[in-house]
Amino acid sequence: MSPEPFSPPIQPTPSEAEQRAAVLTEILGCIESGERIMLPDWDRSVPVQAEDYALLNVGLEPNRFGGWVGPFRYQFEGEDDLLHLMICRRDGGSLTPMEAQTVVSWLLAGVPSGLYWVKPATRSQHFYVGHDVLPGSLIV
């Protein structure tokens, strides 16, 4: 099996960088106040992106814990003491763990990569990090 090709760092636009800051500031506020970081309510008016992959349809609508950068969409949610980060492509196509890692490196700037882990899939990649790690290391 050959290694995955190198994925260059993403180049966010100013509005994508602002959205990242807003999302992460919201998450840090929730962690501080003990509020659960929830997925958005399903908006039935938003067209379904993938009939066969339910998670690709989560967070298509604008919400306080998700956003877009380049060809990627990201969505956070809290799971007990873990923060779950889902990354997929805008077009619903396949996504390698290496491609998703470029998004995670940008989103979780300052968090040592050894403190989050991946659950790979084919059309979405899932990362997990402890809530308590973010306030002391995340660079917003």
Residues 6+ apart with CB under 8 A from 99: 7, 72, 125
At 58, which CATH number?
A: 3.40.1720
Q: What is the Cα–Cα distance from 104 to 82, expressed in whole angstroms?
A: 15
Domain count across the chain: 1
Residue 66 lies in a domain: yes
Answer yes or no: is 110 within a domain: yes
For the segment 21-57, what is each residue's pLDDT rounded down to a tens digit?
A: 999 999 999 999 999 998 877 655 555 555 554 455 5
The pLDDT score that the predictor gives to residue 1 is 47
Q: How far apart are CA 46 and CA 57, in angstroms?
A: 9
Give the residue numbers spanning the domain of 95: 14-133
Q: Is residue 138 assigned to a domain?
A: no
52 found inside a domain: yes
Give residue 126's pLDDT: 92
140 inside domain: no
Is residue 32 a part of any domain in this protein? yes
Is 45 within a domain? yes
One pLDDT digit (tens) per residue for the chain, 140 residues: 445 555 667 899 999 999 999 999 999 999 999 999 988 776 555 555 555 544 555 555 778 999 999 999 999 999 778 999 999 998 888 989 999 999 999 999 999 988 888 898 888 899 999 988 899 999 99
Looking at residue 2, its pLDDT comes to: 46
Domain-located, residue 57? yes
